[in-house]
Structure 1
C-alpha cells in the first residue's frame, strides 16, 4: 500500500530532498565509476544520405514505442507506429483477462495489469527526462507518489498528445511479418484486427521493435500437475481477488508481482502460500503485515510435485491441499513477426545477438529493439535507447564494425557467466542500469541521468526490501 508521510523514516529523508531537485539537472555531470565511453565516429554500415528522411516502422505504441516515435521524428525521420490496441499505453492499457479456457496463456490480452495495481517506483523517477511525471499536472487525477495504473496511462497519453504522436499511430493494426529485402530495407506486412486477408505489405528503410515483454507467460514445470484437479492461472490473467474467496492459493514466484498479488488475494482467500525456490527453510512462516482476521500468508519452499488428491508437496516434504496454483513466473520475449532473416533468436529468454541490447550486429542499424532490459526505471531508459537509435539512423552517431559489435556481445556473455547468472538473466539490469543509461546518454550527446533520480531509486529499493508489507509492488 502507499506509504504515508507519517511512516517515512530517516532513510527516506533522501527521497524528500530528491523531490526538491525534480526537474532540475545537475549543473555538472557526476563523476563516472567507469571510463568515459568511446564515441564511434566512423560508420560501418550502408545508409542513405545522412540528410535523407527515412521511412521507419515502429512496432508498438507503449512507452517504448512512443519514446522511439518522438526521437525518430526529432531527427527528421518519418516513423509509422503499428499498434494492436485502440489506444496508446501498451502494458499500461488495462484490459479484461483472457477467457476462462486459457488461464495460463496470453490469448488476445496484451495487458498484464490487475485492478489494484499501483507503481512500485516513485512517480518522480518514472517520468521521461524532459517530461516530468508530476502530481497536479494537467490531466493528473492521482497525486500519490505511487499512483494507480490509470495515472500512468494518463501520463503516457499526455506525452503522446504533447508531442503530436497520435497522428503517427495506426491503431488496431497488427504486424504480421517483417521480411528483409535487398539493400537492407524491410517489407512489413500489417492488417487491421478482424481482417481475414493476407494484409498490406509496405517497404521501410528500418524497423524499430517496441512490442514489450509482459504478454507471453512463462509457466513453471510441476511434476504431476496434469493429473492435479485444481485450477492453474498465470498472473497475466489475474485482475481482482474476489474469485479466490475462501480458497487455498499457492503462488509460484519471488518477484514483485508475486508478493503484490499475494497480498491482494490474501484479502479474500482462506490461505495464500508463496512458493519460492530460493527461500531458506527458516523463512517458511507467516509473513508480516497481517492479523489473525486476515488470510494466512505463508512463504514456502519450491513445489516438488502435485498429486491427484489435490495435494501439493513442497521440497521440504510438507504438503497442503490447494484450490489454485498461480504462476507469477514472468514472461517470454516473443517476436512472432520476425523471420530467420532478422538474424535474432530467443533462447532461454536471451535475445541473441544484440549489441548493447539494441542492435543485431548483422543487420544493424536497420533493425533495432527498444525496451528489452528489465529491473530498471523503464521510461528514461526507453528514451535514451531511442535517442541512440535515432541518431545512428540519421548518420549522426556511428557504430563499431560488425565484428567489433559481436566481440562486445561475447565479452558481455562471458561476464554474465563469470558472475554465475543464468542465460535468462541476460537482460536483467538490476546491477548496472545507470551505467548503461549514462553510456547511452554519452553516445547521444545527452547529459547523464540526474543524480537525484538515482538516489531516489536506491532509497525506494531499500525501503521495499525492508518493509515489503507497507509497499505496493508491481512486476
Structure 2
C-alpha cells in the first residue's frame, strides 16, 4: 500500500538529511570525535550516524604500546614516558582523570583513562578495530566518500559510503629525518636511529656516549633516561651555546652541521667545532603529517606556493595542511571539495590537545549542520593575515646580517633549508626557506594562542564553555609543576599529596586539583626563592 503523501515527504526529507560520518582513527582525536557526534541532537534523532575505523587492535592511538618493530613502529611510546602536562589541564573537559591520579601520570594510566572515556560514553559500538583505511575517494557527482578498509585479522576489504570524513589518524607515526650531510652513512652503519624506535636505555647496548639530536619533550626525556643509566650525553640543541654539566657527562652543543667518520664517532657542529667518541646517535627530530589514504589529486605533497592568492587545492608540506579554515576545514575550490566534506583534527601543536580536540569537533558539527556559517571570504582573510604575520617573522629571522650573499646567516639558512626540505613533490633546491619556515610554524601555537583559539571555536559553534583562568595559569606553570612533582616522587611524598584529591567530583573535584597545584607551586617557591614562579 502506498504511503500517504505527507508521510512519504517526511520519509524523503529524513533520508536526505541523514548523514553518515566516517572517523579515521580511534586515538585521542577519534575518540573525541565519536563522543561529540553522539552528544549531538542530530545523532539522538537518528539523523547522523558515526563509524570510526582503527587500524590497530585497540583504542588509544599513541598511548597504546607496541614493540619497536616495523617500518615505522605503530607508536613512538617509550617506557619512561609520562605526560608533560598536569592531567587536570590535559584531560577532556567532559571527563576528568580519577581521584588520586598522579599529577603527571605515566602512559599506562593515560591509556586506562582513554579506555574509561570510551566505556563511560559508550563509544566502542561505533569503533571497528583492526580496520585499516587504505583509501578515501570523493565522488563529485554523488557528493559522497567511498572509504576502503582492510581488515588485517580476516585479510578482507570492505567499502562504505559516507557524507563526511573526520581525519583523526594522529601525527606521531612517520619519523622525520634531517638531510644533514653524512647522516646516511651513520644510519647505514647502525650508529644512528630515529627516536620512534626508542623504548629503554638498554636499546643502546654497550654504547657509553650518545648524541641526542632535538630539544623537544622526547629529546629531553631521552637525555634524562640515558644519564640515569650511567651514560654520557651530547645534546644537540639548535642555537645553544656550549655548556658542560654533571662533570662533563652532559654536553650541550649546537646544531650538527655534518656527520663525519662514523667509526670515530665524529660530528662537526655549526660553529665549526667537532665532537668525537660518539657511540650512537638518536634523532628526536619529530614526525611528518601524513594521510596515506587520501589521493594525490586531492592533496599535494609539497610546500604550497606563496599567497595571496590562496591555492585552489590542498597541500601537505608534512609540517602543515594548507589552506585550512580554522586549522580544520579545506578552503579550496568548493565544487571539488566543500569545506563541510572533510575535517582535519589535531593539527595544532604546543597545545593541551584533549580539550582542544573536543572544541574542534564541536566546530566541525556546527559546519556540518550549517555549511553557510563558514564564510569563505572571512576565512581567507584570516588565513592570509596569519600568513603575512608568520612571513614577516620568518623573514626577520632569516635576514642576512650583512649585505653579502655569502654571509654566515645566509649560509646557515641554506643548511637549514637542506636539512628540513620536504620530501615528495618539492625539489629541495627550489623550496623557499621563508615559505618552509611558514609551513613549520603554521600549526604551532605560541603563548596563549591555543586558549583564544579554543574560545573562538566554542563561540563559533554556539557552545557556552570558555577556558577557565586556572587552566591557563597551570599551563603556564607546567614546567615548574613537573619539576616539583618529580621531586615529590623522588622523596616518596607524591602518593600522599594526591591521595583523595578529586573525590568531591564535579567543579568541587576540579577545585581540589587546582588547590593542589597551587600548593605545589608554593612549595617550589619556598624551595627555590631565587627563581621566578613561572
Q: What band does the TM-score fall into relative to the shorter chain?
A: 0.7 to 0.9
Deviation for aligned residue 1:358: 0.3
Q: How does 1:349-360 map to 2 (within 5 A)?
A: 349-360=319-330
Distance (Å, rounded) in 1 between the aligned partners of 2:477 and 2:183: 41
Partner of 2:410: none
Q: CA deviation at 1:205?
A: 0.5
> Structure 2 CA distance, aligned partners of 1:112 and 1:441?
32
For 2:390, the equivalent position in structure 1 comes to: 416
Describe how 1:284-295 pairs up with structure 2 within 5 A: 284-286=243-245
Q: Equivalent of 2:18, from 53, 56, 59?
A: 53
SS of the residue corresponding to residue 112 of structure 1 reads coil
TM-score (norm 1): 0.79
Deviation per CA, 1:32-56: give whole Å up to 9, x if none.
xxxxxxxxxxxxxxxx979933101
CA contact (8 A) 1:312 1:321 kept: no
Instruction: Give a deviation string over 1:236-266, Cα, whole Å, max 9, x none.
Output: 1110112324421101001111111111122
Partner of 1:263: 224
Q: 1:232 aligns with which of 164, 184, 192?
A: 192
- Residue of structure 2 in register with 1:74 after alignment: 39
1:393 aligns with 2:383: no
1:193 aligns with 2:152: yes
Q: How does 1:28-67 map to 2 (within 5 A)?
A: 52-67=17-32
Show CA shifts across 1:205-248 (max 9, x none).
01000001011111122212333445211111110112324421
In 2 relative to 1, CA 469–326 (structure 1 residues): closer, same or farther, beyond 3 Å? farther
2:253 matches 1:300: yes
Question: 2:173 is matched with which residue: 215, 225, 228?
Answer: 215
> Which structure shows the higher helix fraction?
2
Of residues 460, 464, 469, the one that matches 2:478 is 460
Say if 2:279 is the partner of 1:323: yes
Gaps of 5+ in 1: 1-47, 100-104, 137-142
Q: Contact 2:130 / 2:153 at 8 angstroms: preserved in 1?
A: no
Gaps of 5+ in 2: 1-12, 300-312, 333-337, 395-436, 490-534
Match of residue 467 from structure 2: 449
Partner SS, residue 124 of structure 1: helix
How far does residue 368 in structure 1 lie from its aligned partner after superposition? Answer: 0.4
Q: Which digits, 9 at most, give the CA deviation of each residue in 1:372-407, with x for residues without a partner? A: 111000000000001111222133x74333344333
State the SS of the aligned residue for 2:298.
helix
1:134, 1:341 → 2: CA distance? 43
Q: SS of 1:207's equivalent?
A: strand
Sort the Cα spacing of 1:230 and 1:176 in 2 relative to 1 into closer, same or farther, 3 A: closer
How far 1:70 sits from its partner (Å)? 1.1
Question: 1:467 Cα shift?
Answer: 8.0
Q: Determine helix, strand or coil for the equivalent of 1:236.
A: helix
Counterparts of 1:369 and 1:85, CA distance in 2? 20
Distance 2:169 2:468 in 1: 28
1:361 aligns to 2:325 (yes or no): no
Q: Deviations over 1:43-98 (max 9, x none)?
A: xxxxx979933101000001110111111122212110000111110111111112
Q: How has the CA–CA distance of structure 1 residues 246 and 226 changed in structure 2, closer, same or farther, with 3 Å as cutoff? A: closer
How many Å separate the matches in 1 of 2:269 and 2:487? Answer: 28
Residue 268 (structure 2) pairs with residue 313 (structure 1): yes
The alignment covers a number of residue pairs equal to: 401
Question: Secondary structure, in 3 states, of the residue corresponding to 1:321?
Answer: coil
Q: 1:128 to 1:51 in 2, by over 3 A?
A: farther
- Find the counterpart in structure 2 of residue 7 from structure 1: none
CA contact (8 A) 2:137 2:147 kept: yes
* Residue aligned with 1:266, SS: helix
SS in 1 for 2:445: coil
Match of 2:69 among 85, 90, 98: 98
Conservation of the 8 A alpha-carbon contact between 2:289 and 2:318: no
Is contact 2:30–2:168 with CA below 8 Å preserved after alignment? yes
Give the Cα separation in 2 of the matches to 1:360 and 1:53.
22
Q: RMSD of the TM alignment (CA)?
A: 2.4
CA contact (8 A) 1:248 1:269 kept: no
In structure 2, the CA distance between the partners of 1:368 and 1:50, relative to structure 1 (3 Å rule), is: farther
What SS does structure 2 have at the residue aligned with 1:254? coil
